[in-house]
Amino acid sequence: MAKYFDVHPVDPQPRRIAQAVQILLDGGLIAYPTDSGFALGCSLDNPDGRSRILRIRGLDDRHHFTLVCADFAQLGQFAQLDNAVFRAVKSHTPGPYTFIVPATKDVPRRLVHPKKRTVGVRIPDHPVVRSLLQALGEPILSSTLLMPGDEEPMTDGWAVKERLDHVVDAVIDSGECGTEPTTVVDFSEGYAEVVRVGAGDPTDFES
């Protein structure tokens, strides 16, 4: 049965955040709110957590996971960005965007796209996520909580708890969160390609 953490949406209680972070450090899988719906997340060095996310979402190994980062300095540790991409990404973060970029050597091999050597990165604009990332001290390996057969990500914490009670270790609920998935922009070929239009305005990335 998943632990349920009811946290304040603007000023999350440090004790509850610390409990959730400890679950991540102990190898657990959490469902947590972002500015674009709920996400599933685990620590970077948790291969079992990655496999659990794939099973829950009904995905295969080609799925592009996202490293959810606290800030641009952390993002830069895992993403190779030339000057033009750096400016484009920085001007749209934090926010509801995911960027697919070449990965640095600091990204564990199993988290990199096997052919493209790329990784998804994002900096969400949500107080609960920021608190989690600051307490954890590293990115969270994440995937949008979009269940097989659903057209939209889950957005209600208690509904997440009821549906995933026996397949995740914790659910963090802060009330209202985003209702659209992120806009995904692929920079893997050196130019911007919008591969999914979501909550973020894609205009600046469309040629």
Neighbours of 9 (CB within 10 A): 14
According to the model, what pLDDT value does residue 154 have?
84
According to the model, what pLDDT value does residue 157 have?
93
**What is the pTM assigned to this prediction?**
0.93
Report the CATH number that the domain containing residue 149 is assigned in CATH: 3.90.870.10
- The domain in which residue 117 lies consists of 3-205
16 alpha-carbon distance from chain centroid: 20
Domain total in the chain: 1
Neighbours of 59 (CB within 10 A): 15
According to the model, what pLDDT value does residue 128 have?
95
According to the model, what pLDDT value does residue 63 have?
83
How far is Cα 91 from Cα 1, in angstroms, rounded to an integer?
41
Residues of the chain where predicted confidence (pLDDT) is lower than 50: none
Instruction: Tell me the backbone φ, ψ of residue 86, rounded to 5 degrees.
Output: -55, -50
pLDDT (tens digit, 9 = 90+) per residue, 69-117? 999 999 999 999 999 999 999 999 999 999 999 999 888 888 887 778 8
According to the model, what pLDDT value does residue 207 have?
67
